[in-house]
Chain A
């Protein structure tokens, strides 16, 4: 039973279709990269999986004991967050808000989980620092630690390295890869084909032509040949 099964999905908003015919399945332990041009509906697809917006048609089912609220999400940063007065600890703790229900305060176990996730991502020493004063890479690690508080099973990452310098980006990829090795399933939106091919086990390409399959199948596929011809090998 796959963790996530998406069948024949049509996505759009305000009555306009942005993507259709999307079908894929994600098994526990997979590392799926979603690629496609700007405006092809990558973020819309991710938001649909998170139940933040509803698809025009098609189905999204979770399985393998995964509840739809057990998905950790690393969204693209919003304008509000750039000048938000909050400490690293406050933000990481807020990853627990979903499973606290109506309980007003965080339990000792939730606080311990927040601390261990900060340690895992090497930001424990920043716990009291102000989020907006951190570097881009540190901010992404804070948001990733928050996502880990929400889930131990499935992470959805929306362009986790956008805006980072190459060094911070490489570090971020390493961290994500390590989490995947530890058994966390990863679905990542990426612009960076070379990173997608280096780390991912599966590739989903949406847009004018849709592809879903393993990394090796993608490399063999015609679309990749076309892409390589048009844009070079994708390596830098």
Chain B
């Protein structure tokens, strides 16, 4: 046990491990805060769709030879999020079909662009690490960690300041709108924040696994708690603990970071599910 502990201490002397831990925990916090709202609004798959859009945008950035790909990835993803959340109801193409369409389309076009135009010798390696975030989080620079910290702080602050409005709009958009809440503006806010969180989360788990980071903590918390505030708080706690545990295990056991974090989230979900069922039976 002490051997394991000293091994962890040793690893934490490397700045990249500390950076990964800080960024990972903060991203997990943000994604879980939003996750509850997205799951309840029936937008569980929006994370998936938007992360594929971000993947497509990364491909375009790579083809254009941009050094700072964020310049194109963030605006494109934010725009797609706004379009997706706005179309929601009463459009010709229903919400879930629109997400699926954009998701698959962006993924295919992104891969096409990368394989046709890429100058890299290892296209499938590049694609794989973008999709699964194999070790991206262990290569974060100090500046990237700073950006993650600032964005996470902004997301958390926005969520706390508008918590009551977000609840009102999520529970009953029509009622909120009738009462004078600017529901459209809050939907826009949720869309923009979702896009920012997804672009951030790509560094941690890669495109494919972002949905897991958004939905698992929310679903786990909903198994156990029955009011909104405890669900939010508990999903944030689960998400942070799973991210920290996942990153530690992946370093110790040399497993892929993103997949390990998601595995920890799945384990937490199963535990909550069983605990929730046991409580209900009593």
Contacts and interface: CB of A to CB of B under 8 A. Distances in A.
Q: Please determine whether chains A and B interact with each other in the same assembly.
A: yes
A50 B179 CA distance: 8
Contacts of B175: 73, 75, 94-95, 146-147, 150
A122 interface: no
Interface stretch (B162-170, B253-261, B262-270): B162-170
Contact of B178 (A51, A100, A106): A51
B172 interface: yes
A51 B162 CA distance: 23
Interface string B169-181: 0111011111111
Contact of B40 (A84, A93, A95): A84
B152 to A, nearest CB: 19
A121 B168 CA distance: 21
Contacts of A13: 90
Interface in B217-265: 222, 225-229, 231
A161 to B, nearest CB: 18
A80 B227 contact: no
B160 interface: yes
Given A69-B179, A97-B179, A104-B160, A85 B225 contact: yes
B177 A90 contact: no
Interface string B84-104: 000000100000000000000
Interface string A123-151: 00000101011000000000000110010
B170 to A, nearest CB: 8
A99 B180 contact: yes
B41 interface: yes
A81 interface: yes
A234 interface: no
Interface in B116-174: 160-165, 167-168, 170-172, 174
Nearest to A79: B42
A108 interface: no
Nearest to A67: B180
Given A78-B172, A97-B168, A85 B177 contact: no
A15 B138 CA distance: 55
Given A86-B227, A130-B226, A130-B227, A52 B179 contact: no
A133 B279 CA distance: 15
Contacts of A100: 164-165
25 contacts: A13-B90, A69-B178, A75-B175, A80-B170, A81-B171, A84-B170, A85-B227, A93-B164, A94-B172, A94-B176, A97-B168, A97-B179, A97-B181, A98-B180, A99-B179, A100-B164, A104-B161, A104-B162, A104-B163, A105-B164, A128-B227, A130-B226, A146-B175, A150-B178, A150-B179
Given A84-B171, A85-B231, A95-B175, 8 more contacts: A50-B174, A69-B178, A69-B179, A80-B42, A81-B171, A99-B180, A100-B165, A132-B226
